[in-house]
Structure 1
């Protein structure tokens, strides 16, 4: 059984992901913005922290480290509107990745909307980027991490436009299918490709070209390190 950390697991895809993993017998550490928002259930552990706040994000990562090295970390937490879209969707995953013990698997939630994101990083320090920008940037972060650490594999997942609180009741994609790929990636022994995949419903796709542009990845990591003051190991 695996030890797995799921951010943003109080509702929606994060809760469904955590519940499915727990039902399969895995040790799941859930995360919520506040204690009051922690999901009901019997969990292996809990982590509290507002991921729109870099200080709280670092503390959340340090709290997660108390459970030891995770088999998988699923960066699920998300926000739709600026400035929280950039803070939660891009900066928080970067900070958690930088401060946590490197897990065996890193899984970042992307979106098909990343294809409309911009490579202009001038808005990153002020978190002025759009939702699409934030998802392009986290997809590039995932690609950059895919070969960075020996012993850690990395994937990005587009869960689809599903009817969660953020997606809206009219979202056309299947809610159950929305969490299956990330739970599978977190626990399946053999995945092809081993690292660096961009996934949608168990199938790999080609992300936007910028996500795999190593020069853009380098600029992004440098900018994130500068604005957070936390370099990536």
Structure 2
């Protein structure tokens, strides 16, 4: 199994939005980037777009809700590169909203915006994508990072994941981001001593399919903290929650 000399970053949900811009900026820093997409055609198009900018980016298919898909991805990464240095768990869904769901094109009614009426299926699907996927994919990739004695994992969270900001609509999304932050904390404790740093990032409200055109931040601005955490020095922080490169309360 050949081991690439170039550091490799994996960005889930990298075919659009913050994942796409994160892929662009990491590649611009000299990393080889594997962006993943549930839709192989969209992933390939995104990678081609970045490659045309002179960036070293390829796309691999991944359904973050499917364990076999995750295992296949990791096997392919081991075979093709022999390493993963950076994992950005970016893929996420916001289902409990009246806005069209950009994950599978369904529409949800206003009842989905309240914890009093949110459905079990919405909770389960949200947790599957936003929490279980990042947790399980990290489990699969950490052994490669241990072998390298180097790794950076960034869980893309939200200000809705802060316990101080927990009240409000979109309960499934809020609860999932709180849980994702918990994943960051428990992983940080387990991987001490291997030069693997894991942190959560709140990118802010950005102009993406999920954020909408009225958001104040351009994707280029929003991913700054994600990219920074992905390239931390060895003495960098771990097990923290960041916004604008500053630690914030859970």
Is TM > 0.5 for Structure 1 vs Structure 2?
A: yes
Query: Match for 1:78 among 92, 98, 106?
Result: 92
Q: Please say if residues 78 and 89 of structure 1, whose CA atoms lie closer than 8 Å, have aligned partners that are also in contact.
A: yes
Q: Which runs of 5+ in 1 are unaligned?
A: 119-128, 208-233
Q: Which runs of 5+ in 2 are unaligned?
A: 1-5, 96-121, 146-150
Normalised to the residue count of structure 1, the TM-score between the two structures is 0.76
Among 210, 225, 229, which residue is 1:166 paired with? 210
For residue 195 of structure 1, what is the aligned residue in structure 2?
238
How do residues 35-74 of structure 1 correspond to structure 2 at under 5 angstroms? 35-38=40-43, 39=46, 40=48, 41-42=50-51, 43-66=56-79, 67-74=81-88
In structure 2, the CA distance between the partners of 1:133 and 1:65, relative to structure 1 (3 Å rule), is farther
Corresponding position of 1:144: 186
TM-score computed with the length of structure 2 as normaliser: 0.71
Residue pair 2:152, 2:231 contacting (<8 A) in 1 also? no
C-alpha RMSD over aligned residues: 2.1
Q: 1:131-167: per-residue Cα shift (whole Å, max 9, x none)?
A: 1111111110011111212312111101111110011
The farther-off stretch of 37-46 and 140-149 is 37-46
**DSSP 3-state at the match of 1:95:** helix
1:187 and 1:78 mapped to 2: Cα distance?
22
Is structure 2 residue 138 aligned with structure 1 residue 97? yes
| Contact kept? 1:30, 1:45, Cα under 8 Å | yes
CA distance in 2, matches of 1:197, 1:102: 22
Could you tell me how far apart the structure 2 residues matched to 1:177 and 1:190 are? 24
CA contact (8 A) 1:177 1:201 kept: no
C-alpha contact 1:142 1:154 (8 A) present in aligned 2: yes
